[in-house]
A and B are shown apart, each in its own frame.
Chain A
Amino acid sequence: MATSPDLGALVAADDRASCCAAVYEHPAVQWLLGGELHPGGEQTTRRSLELIGIGRLDRLLDVASGTGTSALLAARQFGCSAVGLEFGARAVEAANAAARAQALDAKVEFRQGDAEALPFADAEFDAVLCECSLCLFADKRRAVAEISRVLRPGGRFALSDVVVDRERIPADLQGTLATVACVGEALSRRGTEQLLAEAGLRLDAVEARDDDAAALARRVQDRLRGARVLGFDRHEGFAMSTSQAIELARSAQRAIADGVLGYAIFAGTLP
């Protein structure tokens, strides 16, 4: 397997931001997810941008932009300019390279930084996109407040994320690994709505994407099974065996079918 940081140590040290960035930069994890870092992949991204009516004159901030797919899609298909902020330095590098390769580097740039302390002035953006990341942030209230702060009045946001029913979520979908897998500390739909309201953001639409979540969980399970069949039982640095990970993915699918776990787009405006 390609060289990687010691994820086990990062998990143990509870260095949340480094750990998550390292996990999602990891080639094995990217393969498991099939290049989709959130349920529905580009389709969900397109739908989010449609919901907030992104256009040519807009300047968009993508919070936790990963390898840059969504910000580049926004520039390519909706004509806006964009800034992607990402904690993982290698992902930032890869994203900037992708921007150059697609000749979009004049319109899109990627910077390394912390979502809980956005390195931008107040009211700097017309729109903010944040996909499947709030669930990973240690201080969610602060992250949402930061989104609100960098939006101009009348600016729009699209936040898509895992939603869970905390009362009914099974025990195996809690804990550190479940957190890294976006489930452990995800909010409920109501919890997310409250957080947005507290930050002074107005919610205009919520759209469930549970089928996409189920498809992603199934894909991860299939690819883990593939890895196990190919003789890949345990990777140093990962805290669980492939078989345990398969069980986790299976449990996630059951939870989605039971309506305990899902994915949704929250779109709205800063009044």
Chain B
Amino acid sequence: MLDAEIVRRGDTVVLSRTCPDHGAFEAVVYGDAVRYLEIRRFDKPGDEPLERQTEVVRGCPHDCGICPEHAQHTCLGIIEVNTACNLDCPICFADSGTGPQKHGYSLTLAQVERMLDAFVRAEGEPESVQLSGGEPSIHPQILDMLAAARARGISLVMLNTNGIRLARDPRFAPALAELGVHVYMQFDGFDEATQLAIRGKALTEEKLRALDRCAEAGVSVSLAAALERGLNEHEIAPILRFGVEHPAVTGVFFQPVTHSGRFRADSNPLEKLTNSDVIDGIAAQLPEWFRADDFVPVPCCSPTCRSATFALYDGEDLVPLPRLVDVEQYLDYVTNRAVPDLEVREALEGLWSAKAAGGSAPVAERLDCVACATGMPPELREVAARGFMIVIQDFQDPYTLDVQKLRKCCVSEIAPDGRLIPFCAYNSVGYREQVRLTMSQNGHGN
């Protein structure tokens, strides 16, 4: 671990450090220095997990599981059920693909059940889990795994997928509907150039078919768009406009592409997109709908990691929820002022959270609570509960990894041995490689 300084460079904020072997380097962590200071107040003190799984031996970030130094519980658990995929995306941080996998693995149902049990031990009543990969939809037991998560009382069970199986297998969406699974589908834009660069293949037709099948079956979908500077930033507005119109889509997640794994390892870490760049992009491309201050940082993790809003849309006009409720006032943990209503704060904390996805039952309940408690007239509440969720989620890479942020991370990869490993540590510190090696040597290789 190197000491680092967070410093201002022009309008941006960079992490600056010097390695004895490789010299000085800097990486941008937030694109707007003024807002960086302004959003520090959205920082909620961490909650305790019920169980910590590892001891402190080498110090952060080398003792992951939830170790005694970690300052947060887990809102969202991720289980990567396999390393095999039906695409070979150039940007894959999980280093998955179609061919034979170096240290590839595929989990059994029993293993996934043990991992879910470990998550339940750590969280008590976890609200949200995502099955990922690889491409989890091609795992032969994926439906049983999703059912196992639902059987543990987890209300938001998500499948992170590229949508190909949904498009090609007409039985799949109805099966997900029956299990009450929410689909988290990669959707990076409509331009062929975008798709070739990010996914290695033009997929619009299949994506649209997958979404239509979801709509038909009654499966709700969050679109997840990976954004890369100079490539598909201009597709923010088309993706959002498409999303709010499509009957299956209940939210859009924008994620600046992580330069972990194999993608653009040579890219300039001072030019990476950050959350403020995406927020400014949304406000610039859709000024009739959004301002930058409609996006409020999620207070559970570090304020630069995730910002979100909920939008109300009627087919013509769109109004972000923070215009109707003073969300900032409730989620400000630093400025010394009285919070008018703790019940509303709690509901907003549940909405501005990594465990939330548009269209899910807990989100609808919380939106209704906010609408009611803030004096929104009763006729409006029912509609408000159908808010469309927009999330901007940045991830750390080896250039930007900051253990102070990491210690407050609330998105964890659940490892096959039951450790909960903060997502950005899993991808940037070597845990992923360790897990793959162990799994492939233990006879779970593919």
Contacts and interface: CB of A to CB of B under 8 A. Distances in A.
Given A31-B377, A225-B317, A226-B312, A231 B383 contact: yes
B324 A223 contact: yes
Contacts of B377: 1-2, 27-28, 31, 227, 232
Given A34-B326, A222-B319, A222-B324, A229 B375 contact: no
Contacts of A222: 319, 323-324
B384 A1 contact: no
B21 interface: no
B379 interface: yes
A219 B380 CA distance: 17
A219 B325 CA distance: 10
What secondary structure prevails in chain B residues at the interface with A?
mixed
B318 interface: yes
A259 B324 CA distance: 27
B379 A226 contact: no
Nearest to A225: B319
Contacts of A31: 374-377
Interface residues of B, number: 18
Nearest to B382: A230
Contacts of B380: 226-227, 230-232
A30 interface: yes
Nearest to A235: B377
Contact of B314 (A2, A223, A228): A228
B313 interface: yes
A232 B324 CA distance: 14
Interface in A13-64: 27-28, 30-31, 34
B319 A1 contact: no
B379 A1 contact: yes
Contacts of B430: none
B323 A229 contact: no
Contacts of A28: 377
A168 B322 CA distance: 34
B326 A229 contact: no
A227 B384 CA distance: 10
Best-surrounded residue of A31, A222, A229, A232 (most CB of chain B within 10 A): A229
B309 to A, nearest CB: 13
A117 to B, nearest CB: 33
B20 interface: no
B378 interface: yes
Given A222-B323, A222-B324, A223-B324, A229 B318 contact: yes
Contact of A229 (B319, B374, B378, B379): B319
Nearest to B324: A226
A39 B432 CA distance: 54
A219 B312 CA distance: 16
B384 to A, nearest CB: 6
Contact of B313 (A1, A2, A30, A229): A229
A227 B383 CA distance: 10
B314 A27 contact: no
A242 to B, nearest CB: 11
A225 to B, nearest CB: 5
Contacts of B379: 1, 230-232
5 contacts: A34-B326, A226-B323, A228-B317, A231-B380, A232-B377
Given A31-B374, A31-B377, A231-B383, 20 more contacts: A27-B375, A27-B377, A31-B375, A31-B376, A34-B326, A219-B323, A222-B319, A225-B319, A226-B323, A226-B380, A227-B377, A228-B317, A229-B314, A229-B319, A229-B383, A230-B379, A230-B383, A231-B314, A232-B377, A232-B380
The 10 closest A-B pairs by CB, nearest first: A222-B323, A230-B380, A230-B383, A229-B314, A226-B319, A226-B324, A229-B312, A31-B375, A1-B377, A225-B319
